[in-house]
Structure 1
């Protein structure tokens, strides 16, 4: 993949089962333009998450019909699918995928108020589910930064950040802000990290330059897509950005 040029956000719209897309204003992760042609492209699911594979194909994971559904796109304009990814438990919410250091992907999700995960190499088959946290936690998101793995989840209406230490997650900060879910990602250049919290009325952004301390600062939500809920972010190349910009 060539150098990242911008960011693409997939999010749940106001209507149930409506996944939409927004493009960053250049490299600015605090200002987004909703792609007008994205309404109704991916339907019948919610809680979308985007990840790019080694082959350059971008997959959108989402929760639908009690399980994980997966769409694929090589150009971000046409999508194939969805097909199911069996994770072995019912009532799955907020599925997200992350690269494993040894190859393949770890898919994390919430089911029955608990966080679980499976391993997949092809987004078609998966290992048996395993617990991710040693306590209840909703809408789990992971982030690897500065050599450490961080975990974010919702607990009683507030967001919690943890860091993996000796195989277990330990608290870094509790009460980052109110919200049901968090979209967590690195900005272009990798010097700033962003957290978009789902407040139920829209996404509220937080920013930090010191990821390990949990020192998140609230930012203005004025540039967020109106009514956006939950979601996931992936980097795009200059060519992809310019093609998507034509739909903004």
Structure 2
């Protein structure tokens, strides 16, 4: 992949049961334009999360009763799938995947607990293992940055940040926002991090420049897609950005 030029957001439309897409206003991760023709591209799907592999292929992971549903695209125009990735439990919610060597680490919630598996091909996965998070709530998000793994989850509707230290997570901050941690990502340039929290009625953004301290500041939600829920973000190249911009 060449240098990142913008960001692509996948989100669940309120009450629609479909996944839609939005493009950032340039490098601005707080302002998004919904792609007109994205309505109904991925039908009957919820809790989307986007991940790009080393070869450039983008996958959209969505929730499924019998596992994780996986959609795939090489050009951001045509999507194949979904196919089901069995993960050893049923009733999967909020699946997310992160590069981990030559595999991906996939985390999700089922039955009120957070689990992790590894997959090399998004067709098969290792046996599920509970994540060492005391009260994961309904959603967990991870972020690898500055040589550490950071975990974000909700405790009674309150956002919590923890740091992976050895075999457990140590709490860093609590109560800096409300909702469930839909997605956490680095802005273009790598000097700012963003957390998009699902409040039930929309995505609420939080911003920080000092990730390890949990010093998140709320940002205006006015630039977020109306009624957006859940979500996933990947960076796109200039060529991809311009092709997507034609549909904004």
Q: How do 1:8-27 and structure 2 match up within 5 A?
A: 8-27=8-27
| Equivalent residues of 2:66, 2:84 under 8 A apart | no
Deviating above 3 A after TM superposition, structure 1's stretches of 4 or more consecutive aligned residues are none
| Equivalent residues of 1:52, 1:59 under 8 A apart | yes
| Equivalent residues of 2:66, 2:86 under 8 A apart | no
Question: Match of 1:222, SS?
Answer: helix
Mapped pair 1:110 → 2:102: no
Query: CA RMSD for the aligned pairs?
Result: 1.0
In structure 2, do the counterparts of structure 1 residues 85 and 129 end up closer, same or farther at CA, with 3 Å as the change threshold?
Answer: same
Task: Report the Cα distance in structure 1 between the residues aligned to 2:82 and 2:132, rounded to whole angstroms.
Answer: 29
Q: Specify the alignment match of 2:135 in structure 1.
A: 136
Q: Which ranges of structure 2 fall in alignment gaps of 5 or more residues? A: none
Task: Report the Cα distance in structure 2 between the residues aligned to 1:134 and 1:201, rounded to whole angstroms.
Answer: 26
Q: How do 1:61-80 and structure 2 match up within 5 A?
A: 61-80=61-80
Deviation at 1:14, TM superposition (A): 1.3
Please, what TM-score do these two structures have when normalized by structure 2?
A: 0.97
Number of positions where the alignment pairs a residue of Structure 1 with one of Structure 2: 247
Which one is further off, 43-52 or 172-181?
172-181
Q: Specify the alignment match of 1:182 in structure 2.
A: 182
Deviation at 1:66, TM superposition (A): 4.4
| Equivalent residues of 1:44, 1:64 under 8 A apart | no
| Equivalent residues of 1:179, 1:199 under 8 A apart | yes
Q: How do 1:132-211 and structure 2 match up within 5 A?
A: 132-137=131-136, 138-211=138-211
Q: Which ranges of structure 1 fall in alignment gaps of 5 or more residues? A: none
Question: Match of 2:222, SS?
Answer: coil
Task: Report the Cα distance in structure 1 between the residues aligned to 2:133 and 2:146, rounded to whole angstroms.
Answer: 24
Which one is further off, 156-165 or 12-21?
12-21
| Equivalent residues of 2:19, 2:46 under 8 A apart | yes
